[in-house]
Structure 1
Amino acid sequence: MLGLILTSQLWLAPAPQPECNQDLCWSVSPAFCISALPEQACEAQLSVQWQHSAALDLCLKLAQQELSCWQDARAGQWQQHIVWPENATLSLQQGGRVLLQKELVVLSRQPEKRRRLVAPWSVF
């Protein structure tokens, strides 16, 4: 009697590589979101981690809206389920000065409709 062995594989996406500006490094996940239709808002669990060799006062902002702030910290993490309607900039700021930023991109499964270059009734 032949036996059948079933195996399952779990494919994990690689962890986001940290991006650095001098001694300040962060990782943002996800950096993009896929919506079903164009111009549809994206919903995702956004996760941010940062670290620096010295203690800093930093704020995390999405499209200039403050999400979280840390005072006198060498590292921080933030995670929350958010909705963003279109491409938006996520930034880590110190006193209003942007130290790191990342564009959160919204992609669509359905491409935008293209306009025909030639009318269907044209002879030429």
Structure 2
Amino acid sequence: MRFELVKCPEFAQWVRSLNPTDQRWLSVAITSSQSVNGSSAMPTIAARLKTERKRLNLTQAAMASLCGISREIWCRYEQGNGLPGAEVLQAFLKAGGNVHFVLSGDFPVGETLLLERFRACPKVLQEAILRALKTEH
């Protein structure tokens, strides 16, 4: 994967150190924020919902089911013909979606990666990590 957009060698080296899934996600985020015809093309909530669904490797039907809505309603969200409510966003979060990114457009790569890796850990390891974080130093 080449990142011609980035001129910083340290950043390029960091990107190469990411696993392929994280590289694809970062590529989508950078591509969707590049300028189009000289103007900023900040992706909409609809576009970011689609980006997150694809990052999770889910179909529209699968994401809709996880969120407790029909595929048709999910399609409307991705087309920008409606906004998900709090209940849908909460289910989206539980499914692994990055609600902060969807709503704000901010892409906290480090925090997102940390959260994804934490969620992938066995429960016993998650509990040990939480105990360590609660310990006063």
Q: TM-score if structure 1 supplies the norm length? A: 0.25
Structure ranking higher in helix proportion = 2
Structure ranking higher in strand proportion = 1
Q: TM-score if structure 2 supplies the norm length? A: 0.23
- Structure with more relative contact order (C-alpha pairs < 8 Å, separation 6 or more): 1
